[in-house]
Amino acid sequence: MRVGLKIEYEGTAYGGWQRQKNAPSIQQKIEEALQQAFDVLCRVVGAGRTDAGVHAYGQIAHFDIETSIPAQRFSYILNQKLPADIRIVESWEAKKDFHARKKAIGKHYRYTIFQAPHASAMERNTSLHVPQKLNIDNMRKAAEFLVGEHDFSAFRSVGSNLVGTVRTIYRLEVNQDKNHIYIDVWGNGFLYNMVRIIVGTLISVGKGKLDAQNVREILDSKDRRRAGATAPAKGLAMCEVFYDEKNEEYPAK
């Protein structure tokens, strides 16, 4: 049976989603929980490899296991074994050909900025503190240039092994609610650090270091050195992964 998982985690204590030598990872913790609960070694495949310190409300993963236990029970069983900063929100029996990463057709990420003279104690690990007031209108204008299908070479860190540099951003929103500024991005896929470099660039626009129009030029240049800094991981969260619902690979909402 192939089991699908929807996972929420605070990434602060982890080296990221993917198993690695020098730090605990979310993938490792879930695989260990499976081993503890069922005494089997399962490889858990995630929809995306979130970096160290990046959070998730809706990471999706799958694994295969031979068992008569209903897939819906796995969330309860695994949550008993997992640390409190990783929670299985939902588990379900997936189709045999479901693949959390390969079948994903889009993702929604949110970046949270805390804009106030001082950082937030409560949100110190889940937001980026920016003391300056940001020009939201200019950030929105800049964001418009990034929506659509583009070569995002200027907005990626090298070292990624993904194929191609053309991606489509469906929506890119900048919204303010009192001290919080949320940058929400929906796309069919993201290059390495792409969301964090977009955020860093929009923050530069918000601070007046870049004009909105510059962002179009940066995009056209395909030159990473011209874009803004990579915004810190802690403000980023993977909110949702999208699949083709007609294929019934993901349970109905």
> Which residues sit at the interface with a second copy, rule CB under 8 A?
8-10, 55, 57, 75-76, 79, 84-90, 116-122, 124, 126
Smallest gap from Cβ 113 to a second copy, in A, equals 16
CB 159 within 8 A of CB 177: no
For the bound state, the minimum distance from the C-beta of residue 84 to a second copy, rounded and expressed in Å, comes to: 4
For a second copy, the closer CB: 9 or 155: 9
Run of H or E including 119: none
Complete DSSP assignment for 26-90: HHHHHHHHHHHHHS---PPEESS-PBTT-EEEEEEEEEE---SS-GGGHHHHHHHHS-TTEEEEE
With CA atoms as reference, report the closest residue to 96 among 27, 3, 5, 6. Answer: 3
User: What's the min distance (Å) between Cβ of 147 and a second copy?
Assistant: 27
Bridge partners for 2 per DSSP: 64, 94
Nearer to a second copy, 64 or 90 (CB): 90
Nearer to a second copy, 16 or 228 (CB): 16
| Chain centre to alpha carbon of residue 133 | 26
Helix, strand, or coil (residue 136): helix
Structure tokens at 190: 């993201």
223 is known as an active-site residue: no
The least CB distance from residue 205 to a second copy, in Å, is 27
What six digits make up the tokens of 17?
């989603």
From the CB of 245, what's the least distance to a second copy, in Å?
21
Is the Cβ of residue 86 or residue 198 nearer to a second copy in the bound state? 86
Which CB, 41 or 121, lies closer to a second copy? 121
Per annotation, catalytic residue among 39, 51, 177, 211 = 51
**Sign (positive/negative) of CA torsion 109, 113, 114, 115?**
negative
Residues known to be catalytic: 51
